[in-house]
Amino acid sequence: MISIISNRKSRPFVIRKKILGAAIVSITFLAAAMVITIALVMLGHFLIKGIPNISWEFLSQAPRNNNTEGGIFPAIYGTTFLVLTMALLGVPVGTATAVYLTEYAKQNSLFARSVRFGVNTLAGVPSIVFGLFGVGFFVHFIGSGIDGVLGNTSSVWGQPALIWAAATLAVLTLPVVIVSVEEALRAVPRELREASLALGATKWQTVWRIVLPNSMTGILTGSILAVGRGAGEVAPIIFVGAVYSLPELPSKITDQFMHLGYHLFVLATQSPDVEAAMPKQYATTIVLLMLTFILNFTATFIRSRIRNKK
């Protein structure tokens, strides 16, 4: 009798729990569906508007007639040049910092906590602030200092240039690189480190031959995604090297450059003929999205290949 009464009392509780569980599943599913719907609608809109305006002429020629004719090849070239330089500057520094914090630094030391605080602070700084920092530190301080040491009578290094834009974006992407590499390094089992040290390997040999190879998947993936984030930034590079038009392609790191994001910004805000420039805006957006997708696909492909080899 007592058990029957207790079952009757617990039945409403079980029903409420099932209803609550179903409601949570429905809400989370709707949230996920909303995200994918927004992404698909956005992508579909740009594809419908942009694909008809993409041609070989658009991809291989320079802009003409206030960007109402011609193409965006100088912007593609400048963006590619910038991304490669940024990766060469930022990824090694971020990886080295993560290796030190994970493998060498005492986790509760003042220095390690200060570095992590700095990384977290950088991650929250607006991108426009990095542009102002790039002008003040890289262009005027370091660049002008190099000109002074070399005895240049005119500004060669002390002016906005591709190298300073790449350095600024490298600083901007450092938090992403450091955090992703740290996570990849921590994922390596401690037993592997201990076994290597027990066999007589030094700390550096263990890091170089055991830890880094086993975390390479995460390192490459995080680095490529960080570079992809930097490739789409526009606000910082306006201050440190990006221009709207150039008579010729940049050939040195001290040259200024055109950039897809900045090119799109100028088309949308400063074009004398908005209607004529609109197709170019959508086509440029497609090319910029393709660059981002290529970087993301590369990260996924590299991760899969390395995992399959293991």
Question: In the chain, what are the domain boundaries?
Answer: 2-51, 56-309
Of the listed ranges 69-78, 214-223, 294-303, the least confidently predicted one is 294-303
pLDDT more than 90, % of the chain: 40
d(CA 79, CA 53): 20
Q: Say what the pTM is.
A: 0.85
For residue 169, count other CB atoms closer than 10 A to its CB. Answer: 30
Amino acid identity of residue 32, one-letter, is: A
Question: Tens digit of pLDDT for each residue in 171-188?
Answer: 999 999 999 999 999 989
Q: What is the pLDDT of residues 10-60, one digit of tens each?
A: 566 667 777 888 889 899 999 999 999 998 999 898 889 888 888 888 888
Tokens matching residue 214:
């086993």
Q: Which CATH class is domain 56-309?
A: mainly alpha
User: Mean pLDDT for the chain?
Assistant: 87
Q: What is the pLDDT of residue 7?
A: 54
Residue 269: what pLDDT? 84
Using CB atoms within 10 Å of the CB of residue 297, give its burial: 0 to 12 exposed, 13 to 18 middle, 19+ buried. exposed
Q: How confident is the model at residue 3 (pLDDT cuts 50, 70, 90)?
A: low
Please give the average per-residue pLDDT across 129-154, as a whole number.
91
